[in-house]
Amino acid sequence: MLERLFRLREQGGNVGTEVLAGLTTFMVMAYIIFVNPQILSFAGIRDLQGVGPAFAPTLAATCLVAGSMTILMGVAANYPLAIAPGMGLNAVVDAIPLALKRSISVGIGLFILFIGLVSGGYVKPGTGTPVTLGDFTSIPTLVAVVGLLLTVALMARRIKGALLLGILLTTGVAILLNALSGYTAFTIPGVAVIPKAIMGWPDFSTLGQGLNLAVFARVGFLSAALTIFSIMLADFFDTMGTVIGIGGEAGWLDARGKLPRLNRVLLIDSLGAAFGGAASSSSATTYIESAAGVSQGGKTGLTSVVTGLCFFLALFFTPVAGIVPAQATSAALIVVGFLMCAIVKDIPFHDFEEGFPALMTIVFMPFTYSITNGIGAGFITYAFLKVARGKATEVHWMLFLTSGAFPSTSSFPS
């Protein structure tokens, strides 16, 4: 049945590797289970009555949306891509020059690596400088360093399941050091602590409350429509950049840099965005952390099905799922970022018209902490340089159209 559904032999996959890749993806992105409710609960998000979303039902909605949409992605699109609530048209993809597609992959790689550096505590906001070296005397950062050394050692020795094993071993180290510190090293409740309760029932009390059209009356139809359109554009380009970036690293793209079955991927991602809102969570989108499972050998939708099932299980095992600290997953993000940067060698930097927009794409993603901003910078500079050189006819009209639309998305983080 699995062979018929996912074409494992044709894709060069096997059940064991796909399961391992699915577990790896889940472990790397499991942080969203707790981060998303915290952000929505404490960041000033309020309904029309001025009440913010409660933690427990938002956590349940997050797991439900992530589990169902990730499984749908695996079954319908047969790609190892995971969808979860995020904080942040095929013709468009056809219009993107190959150099920009490759730069998107590199930019996302640096973005993933930077996320790993920040979550691991290697870098922090500086005084007088945007960032500076982190506090390597703190236990959480020490845990991250130990995790990185363990993970790269496992990778160097070609140990199967290195990323997942690194996460699990690092979590064990975090639990031990946290206990030795008197449980003061990690301040987030439940992190790096063996839970007293293993299981709990999910709270689905807020499901469906996101289906609220009163916002149109509250802010006006035009304002609401323009806001929704801007967020849609940001989500679209975020997803497109993620898919192209992961697809380039995994070798899924054809000679033109196009992803087969992209229409299915975008359709499911769009459904996830709508479902996330309807479930009283944030808009769901395809996660760049999917690259962790791909790097672990995931090739088919079976990886996504495993990841989705893990999210469903997390509904009932939230006390256990919450013990993995961000420092334990930072090493996997750093390694995945490194792997995705390998395609930089294929970008023609010797050609200014191709190389400069590619560089803008690469650097804007990590430096502005936004995939969307990076793609926008690349599109706009590419179109401008072609016009400046009198080569406007070489630019697809869709590239001009989307370049003009990017200023409306700049207020929305990816």
Which pLDDT tens digits describe the chain residue by residue (414 residues)?
888 889 888 888 899 999 999 998 998 887 777 667 755 654 445 554 555 567 678 888 889 999 999 999 999 999 999 998 865 444 465 667 888 888 887 888 898 899 889 989 999 998 888 899 999 999 999 999 999 999 999 989 988 678 878 888 999 999 999 999 999 999 877 788 888 777 878 888 878 777 777 777 776 776 667 667 656 766 777 788 788 888 887 888 887 778 888 889 989 998 988 888 888 787 788 888 898 888 888 999 999 999 999 999 988 876 776 688 889 888 888 888 898 888 899 899 999 999 999 999 999 989 988 777 888 888 899 999 999 999 988 888 777 877 776 665 554 444
In a domain, 346, yes or no: yes
Instruction: Count how many domains the chain has.
Output: 1
CB contact at 8 A, 7 and 260:
no
Start-to-end CA distance of the chain, whole Å, equals: 38
In a domain, 414, yes or no: no
Give φ, ψ of 314 to 5 degrees: -65, -20
In a domain, 294, yes or no: yes
Three-state secondary-structure class, residue 285: strand
In a domain, 353, yes or no: yes
Report field, pTM of the whole predicted structure over 0.85: no
In a domain, 5, yes or no: no
In a domain, 4, yes or no: no
In a domain, 125, yes or no: yes
- Count CB neighbours of 264 within 10 A: 15
Which letter does DSSP use for residue 323 in this model? T
- Per-residue pLDDT, 88: 45
Residue 189 is part of which domain span? 11-409
In a domain, 2, yes or no: no
156 burial type by CB count under 10 A (0-12 exposed, 13-18 middle, 19+ buried):
exposed
Task: Find, among 230, 173, 195, the residue nearest to 317 by Cα.
Answer: 195
